[in-house]
A and B are shown apart, each in its own frame.
Chain A
Amino acid sequence: MGPKKGNTGSAATATILALLLVLLTVLTVYIFAAKTWWFPPAINEIGKEIDQQFMRTLVITGIVFVLAQLGLAWAVFRYRARGQRATYSHGNNVMEVVWTLATAIMFIGLGILSQRTWAAVRIKPAPPEAMRIEVIGQQFKWSFRLPGPDGKFGKYKFEAHPEQEFTRDPWVVDADDPDGKDDIILGPGSVIAVRVNEPVELLIRSKDVTHSFFVRELRLKQDAVPGMTVPLQFTATVPGEYQVVCAELCGLGHHLMNTFLKVLSREDYAAWLKDMTAE
């Protein structure tokens, strides 16, 4: 029975393979459960919702992972060649339907559940009182612009005169635009600050190639695409200083293109702003 050439392995092979699969399963579950390497704590409500959805997904995929790997381990051990004849079966339609339906309900259900959290960030518009901050990526530093007391951003020269071809400085605020007079420009390499517990809307842009604005603690990431302005809203609830990193390959300095997002109380923010505008 079986292949004519020896080479059929032995009980030892079956046992070792089964044990390795069990070890894989135990180690993987342990490292996830122990959160040995994990997300930093979330600093916004939506971040906490994202974490909950992550955990729901982890539980479901974890169960499937354990059942599949242990099922494989068991099958390999239990049905190793011991002189038995295999059962001649082409399958079982009832089982096919049952496990297909179960998987479909679990997977698609999980997917539908997560859309609410997505919509809350990306489809629901930012509240009108949100502090707007323009974020500009360029090789290899982040810049920011605040609209100033009038709450309006001035147009850049190329936005004020779209028909004109600029050979210099298109990204300078147009001198004739009254909205731009009080704009606060935080040049390349600046740190950005927001007030705690107040909604913020970032307007993310790029001057050269595609970058991506990523703050782990917010659980949010958005590509900075040349030619587009993409909004990203959040409300940070924990004061602190959080790393901003670039998450879209943009050239040789990609791994060094970082800055900080400070989340400050009203008083600290006012002091910070005064410092920035005094320069």
Chain B
Amino acid sequence: MTTHAGAVHEHEAPKGFIRKYIFSLDHKVIGKQYICLALFSAFVGMFLSALMRLRLAWPAMKLPFFPDGILPEQYLALMTMHGTIMVFMVLTTAPQSGFGNYFLPLQIGAADMAFPVLNMLSFWTTFLSLVVLMAAFFVTGGAPLGGWTVYTPLSAIGEIAGPGQGLGMTLWVIAIAIFSGASLMGAINFIATTLDLRTRGLSLMRMPLTAWSWFITAAISLLAFGVLLAAGILLLLDRTAGTSFFIPGNLVLTEKVISHKGGSPILWQHLFWFFGHPEVYIAILPGMGVASHVLSTFSRKPVFGYRAMVFALSAIAFLGFIVWGHHMFVSGMSPYVAIAFSVLTMSIGVPSAIKTFNWLGTLWNGNIQFTTPMLFALGFVSLFVSGGLSGLFLAQPAVDQYLTDTYFVVAHFHLIMGVAAIFGMFTATYFWFPKVFGRMMNNTLGKLHFWLSFVGVYAIFMPMHFIGLAGHPRRYADTSGAPFLQALDPVHHFMTYAAFITIAAQFIFLFNLLWSIWKGEKAGINPWNATTLEWGVPSPPPHDNFAGHEPTVYRGPYEFSVPGVAEDFILQTTPPDKVVKS
């Protein structure tokens, strides 16, 4: 049920720079703010990864700010911040709160999100969390060391456990707690908006898959981030208030006995991964939604198996909550429970496979237009297959005993999150840029960005599977510890060269993005001949999206190449009697 009266709730257009661009209630401005935050974070995270790859290939190399080379503890801190910034500040912001904020109201015919003030608050809270996180670089003791997973008791005991366990770690925990709060605010908003503000004629099963993905992702967020927030508070208490949730007794560090006792280190892992596994689905589901949407648009063909796609998104979300133990097979957890988690994890491959078959089915018998967004959507499919399949090895504890904590895992999650999800964001950017700015991005630069990135990411991350098979553990600052590791140095060099080329390609994207905002070729209202509601309003849309009148939806979101119709697409909002027959 939608409350139609609420669908066109108005708030006046703001006046003044601060209200328009800083503390704005407009979902379109907030969406752009989130995307800016993610863009900044992505370049910081990428810079950190460049330093990491330099260290791995040439450990002794001297660099600015690292006159003695990057020390092992510095490498580990860079790695921790790289993971944290990329997972939280890039993958959990732009796909959902960036593009979702901008386009969910438009796609469902609403004037704004259900709670504009909460929306503004959620962005500025996220911004605060980023400031606190970045502050960790600059405090005494520097950035934290622990991976983005900060396992206890290393992360709970404090400075005595070594470098990177001081104030920087405390700031990390605070930043993530603040971020969790912001995510909960956003989740409430997305769910209320989707359930309540759909316009006349837009049933749930007529929503674009992008809207479905944002809705389901918000449901995951709502249930997962609360647990992370709780875990963060407990960790903070252990660090600052003398509690021992995660710290057992009789620990000895630097010959001193630690006075905590009674806690369980793997309790942190359970709490963290109860959040952490759904989190990776938060990162990928919007990308899947965009991929489905764009593949359909540029095949000029309806999504193959729309209902199955909705079912698959829902199944992935549900199953995503009951598989977290697959991160913990060798943690000391019960081996019986491991079996349960294993079978459930293998099951999650099934809805993922449904989606992959349906993407191929959408392309089949299509009329494929190779626009830049389409190239990235196609790249997404290839990368999702590659990244997803390695999960099948890791889901079996017998095999995972060898592969866990090696580069095989690093390959797996980078292909899925660090590339497929990123390609989803590129797809969204190239696709919706004309709507947001009223201009096209440069096509040649876009294609160049795609080719270099697509080849580049495979060149970086495919080899990681192989050094993982050779048994190379992860989170190693270098290969000096064992001859079998040193034998893998050539692979590290290759990956580092590939990384630098791929990183360079991202500057082509950045230049294209910024240049096109002011100098791009002007775009009309629907340059892609697409079907969903955002393509029926001006580029960029006016403040209240639909100029005060409630649109009516007459059909599903993917009516392409309908027989008997002159054009190969029909907007969702075109009345039936206005559709031109052939």
Contacts and interface: CB of A to CB of B under 8 A. Distances in A.
Interface stretch (A53-61, A178-186, A261-269): A53-61
Contacts, number: 380
B188 interface: no
B466 A36 contact: yes
B560 A115 contact: no
Most buried by B among A68, A81, A250: A68
A97 to B, nearest CB: 10
A110 B381 CA distance: 24
Most buried by A among B331, B369, B455: B369
B158 to A, nearest CB: 12
B252 A40 contact: no
A89 B301 contact: yes
- Sort chain B's interface into a size bin: 35 or more
Contact of A1 (B154, B300, B307, B451): B300
Contacts of A134: none
Interface of A: 1-10, 13-14, 16-17, 20-21, 24, 27-28, 31, 36-40, 49-50, 53-54, 57-58, 60-61, 64-65, 68-69, 71-72, 75-76, 79-81, 84-92, 95-96, 99-100, 103-104, 107-108, 110-112, 114-115, 117-119, 121-123, 138-139, 158, 165-168, 170-171, 207-210, 212, 214, 216, 219-223, 225-228, 230, 243, 245-258
B203 interface: no
B371 interface: yes
Given A104-B347, A214-B405, A89 B299 contact: no
A95 B291 CA distance: 21
Nearest to B331: A223
Given A50-B402, A245-B473, A107 B363 contact: no
B506 interface: no
A71 B483 CA distance: 41
Given A100-B353, A108-B346, A246 B473 contact: yes
19 contacts: A1-B568, A4-B526, A5-B527, A28-B462, A38-B470, A50-B401, A54-B393, A69-B386, A76-B368, A88-B301, A96-B358, A139-B253, A170-B252, A208-B161, A226-B251, A252-B72, A254-B76, A254-B476, A257-B481
Contact of B367 (A1, A230, A245): A1
B482 A61 contact: no
A3 B528 contact: yes
Instruction: Across the A-B interface, give the 5 residue pairs with the lowest CB-CB distance, nearest first.
Output: A9-B370, A227-B248, A111-B346, A91-B305, A122-B335
B154 A251 contact: yes
Q: Is the interface of A mostly helix, strand, loop or mixed?
A: mixed
A254 B475 contact: yes
Contacts of A103: 349-350, 353-354
Contacts of B524: 4
Given A37-B470, A247-B406, A220 B401 contact: yes
Interface string B53-79: 000000000000000000111001000
Interface in B512-551: 523-524, 526-529
A114 B397 contact: yes
Given A79-B366, A96-B305, A123-B336, A212 B392 contact: no
Given A115-B342, A252-B72, A110 B392 contact: yes
A106 B360 CA distance: 20
Contact of A252 (B162, B249, B370, B401): B162
A4 B527 CA distance: 5
A85 B251 CA distance: 71
Contact of A114 (B356, B364, B399, B480): B399
A37 B488 contact: yes
Contact of A89 (B266, B302, B529): B302
Interface in B331-356: 331-332, 335-336, 338-339, 342-343, 345-347, 349-350, 353-354, 356
B264 A227 contact: yes
Interface in B218-271: 247-253, 257, 259, 263-266
A223 B331 CA distance: 5
A90 B559 CA distance: 9
B488 A227 contact: no
B562 interface: yes
B60 to A, nearest CB: 15
A230 B398 contact: no
B368 A81 contact: yes
Contacts of A222: 330, 332, 401
